[in-house]
Structure 1
Amino acid sequence: MRILKRLFKWIITLSLIGVLIGAASLAGVYYYFSPELPDVQSLRQVQFQTPLRVYSTDDKLIAEFGEKKRTPIPFDQIPEGFTQALQAAEDARFFEHFGIDIKGLSRAAFQLASTGRIQSGGSTITMQVAKNFFLTREQTFRRKFIEILLALQIEQELSKQEIMELYVNQIYLGHRAYGIQAAANTYYGKDINALDLAQLAMIAGLPKAPSAFNPITNPDRALERRDWILGRMLQLGYISQQAHDDAVATPVTARYHRSDIELDAPYIAEMVRQQLYEQYGEELYTEGYRVWTTIDSRMQAEAIAALRRGLLDYTHDHGYRGAEASIDLDTLEPEDQLSTLRQHTAYAGLEPALVLEVTDDGARLLRTDGSESPLDWEQMKWARAYRSPYWLGPVPKRPRDVLEAGDIIRIMPNEDGQLRLTQIPKAQGALVALNPQDGAIRALSGGFSFYNNKFNRVTQAYRQPGSNIKPFLYTAALENGFTPASIINDAPIVYHDASLEGVWRPENDNGKFNGPTRLREALYRSRNLVSIRLMRALGVERAREFILRFGFEPENYPGNLSLSLGSASSTPLQVARGYAALANGGFLIQPYLIDRIENDAGDILLKANPLHACPECDVIMAPATTSEAETGTETVAADTPAAVSGAAITASNSLYSQLQTPESIGADPLPAPRIITPRNAFLIYDIMRDVITRGTGRRAHVLKRSDLAGKTGTTNEQKDVWFSGFSPDLVATTWVGFDQPSSLGRGEYGSSRALPIWIDFMEEALQDLPNNPPAVPPGIVRVRIDPASGKRAYSGQKDAIYEYFRSEDVPRETARSPEEQKAAPATEAIFGY
């Protein structure tokens, strides 16, 4: 008995000595490594790397930029089932231990002793937090000691809930997904709290080896790992036998889900990314910035669809250019045929397909998913061969006239779901829509497909606007004494002008001349000779300076008479901006794209404060030229801060110049400069309404609205075709042409090619906007006139029409009746400019 007591004392003594030695060793290790230990308090200010996200004004996700997909969530949003699954997989006693698990470390030490290699680190979740945030992944004793010490410190400073929150938001889980919310979105297309038990266990199995246990790339091993975790959850009492059995019986349902892009607007996304990268650099992709644009999702979707439909209509009308490529089917095995086909990318819903066989009634196609589909003759007989923009080959009579086996072609579904032969258009287009009251860009499409060609034609394509420029010239005429009833001679003219390189013989599009023509009729019929005479009457430089006040770039606007026919160069966005001033009563707004920028905490970093049309504001008109200020016209010199000089007007073409810092948010909105008087703004708007009701834009009458106005535009040889139109609430510009200017072909005009796209878009875009024709401003009167002379109608004149005038410009002369004309001297004639 005495021997046992002595033995017990020795054991106790040795144990105490061991504890003291261990404590001294730990203290020595701590003091040795303490200078290298980082401050764990920094974990309270962790900034997770999260991507840039871009949204529409109605909160639809447009794009996500950044290598790491991550959406941090707080602890109270982590499902209990996931926490339990993670404990079962990684650290069953997480909520009981003090940062290290003696059992786990002992097991790791035994493995090292028995094998000579570190097989498992015995790491707790706390230790993994220490490693993930502060250390490298090297497997050394030194790093392991530091990891243990940091884990002990972390447990002293942070709660278990805080540690768990850091862990689940930091870990990498495969396919660029960081954190459990991003993983749930990536593998299941759902938020983490919407997953079932089997799916939660699948994600909980990923931290150990995101590639090896990945349910997409390695579903068998992922399933094995998931079921092991479910078994551990049952063993630990987290779930019932029934829940376990149901979850184990669940098949693997994971598949790759891209970021939940809700709105197709890649041109918009790239515009935002480029601009913000200039300001924020690489941190743009990691700091969790969220950008809300001015884009309306419904209008944006329709803008893209309308432009694509219009360009496909054009390419089908001008014939089939043949297969994109051809292969020899006899020399390739089926898997090689499919591999070759998959080298061709689908664009804008136009899918590549390989012609396997051509029959008497159609063709048999191989598709990129490996399936085969028929292509009926009815869906390809449109395909007359393209010869040039001006003529086509003969009408095909059978499928073999169009296709051959081995052709790689494009197909798209019809409305009834049948596949139709198609092709990627060579012609391109652009569509942009603005709120004319403040310049907010509501929709923008810079081409047929961003992924096929990233050139943004809305902002980068400088093209001749053709007759789209005429409303600005006619507004200049109205500002300088002309009226809608002024008579201008639509007759042949020849100019000898050195700036125009010799003799210039301009013509109207139809080659006809109408003689004396009222200004209103000349605009809605788009008479070129009238425009030239107007510019000559105003003076080239005076007219040019007036046009520039609508925001165009002086270096792109020539100082010669050809400017009257649109020989300048402008982007579609610049044209839309100019038309906005005609729509809003005469104010030059500034187009803008970004409404606000927030950080990941929801704090506003920048907020737009756009210039807005303000008829009730006391705004002094901005002078277009010094001479106008000096001659006492309605445009007066500016001597207050509200005025804007002509130079400032033309220079302000940035889409992002109106963003304010948080300190400025809440400041009074800034009134836009007035560039034309209210009365002249009404007159030009009313004249342009006739373009819709009776002129070159009358196809738009199908929209059945009384507030629409606009203008077609076509350049020489039909290289560029336009339509710009508006209501008081929305202005939109469409352009169609080739990137390398060449003719679109005979019969291609703004009215036949650009206008249908505009109508297609506006039919949807205007649905929720009221029919809102402009009100007649004070000082405008309506008078009956003689349509031939523009003078007041004589008493009882049956063909008299009503016309609007400024009160001081009402015609004083009365037209002669037929009887008076017979009595007039034979030499008297009606003449204008």
Structure 2
Amino acid sequence: MVLAFICILLGVGTIFGFYYYVKPELPDVATLKDVQLQTPMQVFSQDGKLIAQFGEKRRIPISYDEIPQELIDALVATEDSRYYDHFGFDPIGITRAAIAVIASGSASQGASTITQQLARNFFLSNEKKVMRKIKEIFIAVHIEQLLTKQEIMELYVNKIFLGYRSYGFGAAAQAYFGRNLDQLTLSEIAVLAGLPKAPSTMNPIYSVERATQRRNVVLSRMLSEKYITQAEFDEARAEPIISQFHGAEIELSAPYVAEIARAWMVSRYGEEAYESGMRITTTIDSKLQKAGHVAAIKNLLNYDERHGYRGAEKVLWKAGQTAMTNEEIAKHLRRQPTYGELRPAVVTNVADKSATVYVKSYGEQTISWENMNWHVSSVPMIAKVQHQKRRAKSWLWVSRFGFALRISISLQMCLQRKKKRKLKTTKSLSQRPSRGV
């Protein structure tokens, strides 16, 4: 009995000793009360259409009331099952992790609570050292004394890095699924909730297989903690993960105006302009801008068609080389920009009466040679092929007009070269989509 009491005193004394040793180095957690999260600069038209976004970090701040309960449950179940019971760190979790380390010889099980992760994200580095871990625990205790559980969760949801320049779950929902958090399914929420462990390698763009495995772990934890039913678990687990990168949804093309606004803001406010969430409203009228943009493109297409085909953009593989798969082509095209309705495309097959092209975002499309008039610009339903030479290695683009997919003589010449076993990237396909495309 006496020995146990002495051990307890020694343990408490050690903790206080460590605290007073590191106290001078601990940050002031009171700054979290008025924290300003870094958000990108945005440029808008006078009627509120997004023209451009500048900044390294993508973040869409949300309040606690806007966080889906399913996401909160998923994070608590996966990252910190005793979140509502501990005071910053979890002694049970630390003990369990220590036993796992002794048994396996490696740190196979994490012990950081959500509050500790928040402390690390705001005040510390990710270096794996004992002193950093001790500081993390003390900072977490201070945070719990200062903020409510709801305030801690709100900061965590908005602060943490989740891959692809996304900071916070609001930005991650847009980046991976192109939708707001409150529009996601349970399966998709579980995918996002699994990202804090390894956002760069467990995200669904990098590896669907790893993302699926991690999602299933999250769903299993939610089931075991009774946050979801068996039926909900089965349905979410069976749902396939469909994800691709979604950038900021630019609603209006006016890059020159956006660059003027960006340069002016940086000259006035410095690099802070990229991080302080500034919203710049210009005098641009979106309707007039779109009308001018369409007129300019139409005249450029007409001009380019009159001057004919000027050579293929790029040979992706030659005769004797292994052909690219559709997945490889799609990945290649994702790296190419899209300018309004102009999209890069790759010719994959040529037949007597049609050609098959793989178009960015649209996938495989078939182009028929029937009813093609290459020279009368006034004839409706004629697609135009143009060569957009934007740089030394320019690309060809597909655009949608009308109701049928058409192709001009410019691409036909490219396809004739394709018959000589050279697969080429199309140069400015302009297409009229058929129904069902």
- The TM-score with structure 1 as length reference comes to 0.43
Given candidates 308, 313, 316, the residue that maps to 1:320 is: 308
Match of 2:7, SS?
helix
Given candidates 78, 96, 100, the residue that maps to 1:107 is: 96
After superposition, residues 636-651 of structure 1 pair within 5 angstroms as none
Residue 57 of structure 2: aligned partner: 68
Residue 406 of structure 2: aligned partner: 419
Given candidates 211, 222, 236, the residue that maps to 1:222 is: 211
Please give the alpha-carbon distance, in whole angstroms, between the structure 2 residues aligned to 1:99 and 1:350.
Answer: 51
Residue 355 of structure 2: aligned partner: 364
Which structure shows the bigger proportion of residues in strand conformation? 1
Residue 138 of structure 1 pairs with residue 127 of structure 2 = yes
Please give the alpha-carbon distance, in whole angstroms, between the structure 2 residues aligned to 1:209 and 1:156.
Answer: 29
Match of 1:139, SS?
coil
Q: Report the AA paired with residue 376 of structure 1.
A: W
Tell me the alpha carbon deviations over residues 599-626 of structure 1, each in whole angstroms, 9 at most, x when there is no partner: xxxxxxxxxxxxxxxxxxxxxxxxxxxx
Residue 760 of structure 1: aligned partner: none
After superposition, residues 681-720 of structure 1 pair within 5 angstroms as none
Please give the alpha-carbon distance, in whole angstroms, between the structure 2 residues aligned to 1:264 and 1:355.
Answer: 30
Q: Report the AA paired with residue 367 of structure 2.
A: P
Please give the alpha-carbon distance, in whole angstroms, between the structure 2 residues aligned to 1:378 and 1:113.
Answer: 75
Residue 374 of structure 1 pairs with residue 367 of structure 2 = yes
409 and 52 in structure 1: CA distance in 2 versus 1, 3 angstrom threshold: closer
230 and 238 in structure 1: CA distance in 2 versus 1, 3 angstrom threshold: same
Q: Report the AA paired with residue 59 of structure 1.
A: G
Please give the alpha-carbon distance, in whole angstroms, between the structure 2 residues aligned to 1:99 and 1:83.
Answer: 17
Given candidates 281, 286, 301, the residue that maps to 2:275 is: 286
Q: Report the AA paired with residue 257 of structure 2.
A: I
Tell me the alpha carbon deviations over residues 747-769 of structure 1, each in whole angstroms, 9 at most, x when there is no partner: xxxxxxxxxxxxxxxxxxxxxxx
Please give the alpha-carbon distance, in whole angstroms, between the structure 1 residues aligned to 2:407 and 2:400.
Answer: 6
Residue 748 of structure 1: aligned partner: none
Q: Report the AA paired with residue 406 of structure 2.
A: L
Is contact 1:319–1:383 with CA below 8 Å preserved after alignment?
A: no
Tell me the alpha carbon deviations over residues 644-685 of structure 1, each in whole angstroms, 9 at most, x when there is no partner: xxxxxxxxxxxxxxxxxxxxxxxxxxxxxxxxxxxxxxxxxx
1:35 Cα deviation (Å)? Answer: 0.9
Q: Report the AA paired with residue 374 of structure 1.
A: I
Tell me the alpha carbon deviations over residues 497-551 of structure 1, each in whole angstroms, 9 at most, x when there is no partner: xxxxxxxxxxxxxxxxxxxxxxxxxxxxxxxxxxxxxxxxxxxxxxxxxxxxxxx
Residue 399 of structure 1: aligned partner: none
After superposition, residues 70-469 of structure 1 pair within 5 angstroms as 70-316=59-305, 318-325=306-313, 327=315, 329-335=318-324, 349=342, 351-354=344-347, 357=350, 359=352, 364-368=355-359, 371=364, 373-376=366-369, 378-379=371-372, 381-382=374-375, 412-421=399-408
Please give the alpha-carbon distance, in whole angstroms, between the structure 2 residues aligned to 1:414 and 1:145.
Answer: 63
In structure 1, the gaps of 5 or more residues are 1-10, 385-407, 425-451, 453-833
Please give the alpha-carbon distance, in whole angstroms, between the structure 1 residues aligned to 2:71 and 2:408.
Answer: 49
Tell me the alpha carbon deviations over residues 445-471 of structure 1, each in whole angstroms, 9 at most, x when there is no partner: xxxxxxx9xxxxxxxxxxxxxxxxxxx
Match of 1:335, SS?
coil
Q: Report the AA paired with residue 206 of structure 1.
A: L
Higher relative contact order (CA closer than 8 Å, sequence separation 6+) = 2
Match of 2:355, SS?
strand
1:379 Cα deviation (Å)? Answer: 3.3
In structure 2, the gaps of 5 or more residues are 378-394, 412-427, 429-437
Tell me the alpha carbon deviations over residues 725-776 of structure 1, each in whole angstroms, 9 at most, x when there is no partner: xxxxxxxxxxxxxxxxxxxxxxxxxxxxxxxxxxxxxxxxxxxxxxxxxxxx
Is contact 1:380–1:420 with CA below 8 Å preserved after alignment?
A: no
Please give the alpha-carbon distance, in whole angstroms, between the structure 2 residues aligned to 1:352 and 1:249.
Answer: 33
Which structure shows the bigger proportion of residues in helix conformation? 2
1:226 Cα deviation (Å)? Answer: 1.6
After superposition, residues 784-823 of structure 1 pair within 5 angstroms as none
Residue 731 of structure 1: aligned partner: none
1:420 Cα deviation (Å)? Answer: 2.4
Is contact 1:65–1:285 with CA below 8 Å preserved after alignment?
A: yes
Is contact 1:216–1:256 with CA below 8 Å preserved after alignment?
A: yes
1:304 Cα deviation (Å)? Answer: 0.6
Q: Report the AA paired with residue 417 of structure 1.
A: A
Match of 1:371, SS?
strand
1:367 Cα deviation (Å)? Answer: 3.2
Given candidates 5, 14, 19, the residue that maps to 1:30 is: 19
CA RMSD of aligned residues (A): 3.0
Is contact 1:59–1:292 with CA below 8 Å preserved after alignment?
A: yes
237 and 115 in structure 1: CA distance in 2 versus 1, 3 angstrom threshold: closer
Match of 2:111, SS?
coil
Please give the alpha-carbon distance, in whole angstroms, between the structure 1 residues aligned to 2:338 and 2:318.
Answer: 22
Please give the alpha-carbon distance, in whole angstroms, between the structure 1 residues aligned to 2:74 and 2:337.
Answer: 41
1:298 Cα deviation (Å)? Answer: 1.9
Please give the alpha-carbon distance, in whole angstroms, between the structure 1 residues aligned to 2:271 and 2:323.
Answer: 45
1:230 Cα deviation (Å)? Answer: 1.8
Tell me the alpha carbon deviations over residues 470-507 of structure 1, each in whole angstroms, 9 at most, x when there is no partner: xxxxxxxxxxxxxxxxxxxxxxxxxxxxxxxxxxxxxx
Is contact 1:54–1:64 with CA below 8 Å preserved after alignment?
A: yes
Match of 2:53, SS?
strand
188 and 325 in structure 1: CA distance in 2 versus 1, 3 angstrom threshold: closer
The structure with the largest alpha-carbon Rg is 1
1:352 Cα deviation (Å)? Answer: 4.5
1:271 Cα deviation (Å)? Answer: 2.0
44 and 377 in structure 1: CA distance in 2 versus 1, 3 angstrom threshold: same
1:87 Cα deviation (Å)? Answer: 0.4
Match of 2:173, SS?
helix
Higher mean alpha-carbon deviation, 300-309 vs 271-280, is at 271-280
Match of 2:307, SS?
coil
1:366 Cα deviation (Å)? Answer: 3.7
414 and 24 in structure 1: CA distance in 2 versus 1, 3 angstrom threshold: closer
Is contact 2:84–2:149 with CA below 8 Å preserved after alignment?
A: yes
1:132 Cα deviation (Å)? Answer: 0.9
146 and 217 in structure 1: CA distance in 2 versus 1, 3 angstrom threshold: same
1:329 Cα deviation (Å)? Answer: 4.8
Match of 2:205, SS?
coil
1:314 Cα deviation (Å)? Answer: 2.8
